[in-house]
Amino acid sequence: MLLGTAGLLLLAWSFLDGTYYQYAQRVQFEQQVVSPEVAGVNTGIAKTIALPETRPQPEVPFQLLPNPPKLLEPDPLLIGELDVPRVRLSVMVREGLAATTLRRAVGHVPSTALPGELGNFVVLAHRDTFFRRLRELEKGDTVRMVTARGHFTYTVESLVVVEPEGISLTAPPSEAIATLITCFPFNYVGPAPRRFVATARLAEGVLTDAGGIASPKHAQAPDRGRR
């Protein structure tokens, strides 16, 4: 009973830790990044907007003000937000594959491309947490990736189930693709034996720091100094 209780408490703590990390980092990230609609996906022009000023608050004696809750500090390893609208998946992506990262976010494989770059942008997460909704994914679905340097839209082209050793992290140097990986089967009890792999191709993007449109024909070459 003690071991079972300890296990349940550990599971609850992991869930709450991941949920709080996602909330805190999303709040801070969205304050810094312009949405794709405002940035000009439809017009092809990256724009900068002024955020509305905070409405003045009435003065209250200092002693009556509660201490506001402090969010986590902005994470220097945060890459951006991954969104798959049709399956209602929205999650923050963090650099690396450490246990702490995969407990709190989707992890980016460090040796692979970044969003919008030529090559293979590879991310993975647990099937029973952040990538649970990948079971609903279909070919043709839109995968969006929002980062500090731009907004990138991918289209899902293939969905396969492979053995762990059958996963490829490379892509032709002239192509820009994204690969989402999680364990399979989704309802398997214990360590799942296979991997679910979704591959998507870059369709369009907006570079918010350099202007202009990134497309499959002129996607950005890798620049590791920008991470």
Tell me which of 48-52, 103-107, 122-126, 214-218 is least confident. Answer: 48-52
Q: CA 109, CA 120: separation in Å to the nearest integer? A: 10
Model confidence at 9, pLDDT cuts 50, 70, 90, reads: low
Residue 212 has pLDDT above 60, yes or no: no
Domains along the chain with CATH numbers: 2-46+76-226 (2.40.260.10)
Between the alpha carbon of residue 108 and those of residues 75, 95, 139, the distances in Å are 14, 5, 22
CA atoms within 13 A on the CB side of 214: 25
The position carrying tokens 């949405």 is: 35
* C-beta of residue 159 within 8 angstroms of C-beta of residue 139: yes
pLDDT tens digit sequence for 10-53: 556 566 777 888 888 888 887 777 544 444 443 333 333 233 34
Residue 181 has pLDDT above 80, yes or no: yes
Mean pLDDT over residues 163-174, rounded? 90
pLDDT tens digit sequence for 110-134: 999 999 999 999 999 999 999 999 9
Q: Which alpha helices (DSSP H) does 31-78 contain, by range?
A: 36-39
Q: Which alpha helices (DSSP H) does 52-192 contain, by range?
A: 99-104
Q: Is the dihedral of CA 123, 126, 132, 136 positive or negative?
A: positive
Question: b/e map of 19-42 (b: 16 or more CB within 10 Å)?
Answer: eebbebbeebbeeebbebeebbbe
Model confidence at 70, pLDDT cuts 50, 70, 90, reads: low
Answer yes or no: 126 catalytic.
yes
Q: Which one is catalytic: 108, 126, 151, 218?
A: 126
The position carrying tokens 């202007």 is: 211
Answer yes or no: 218 catalytic.
no
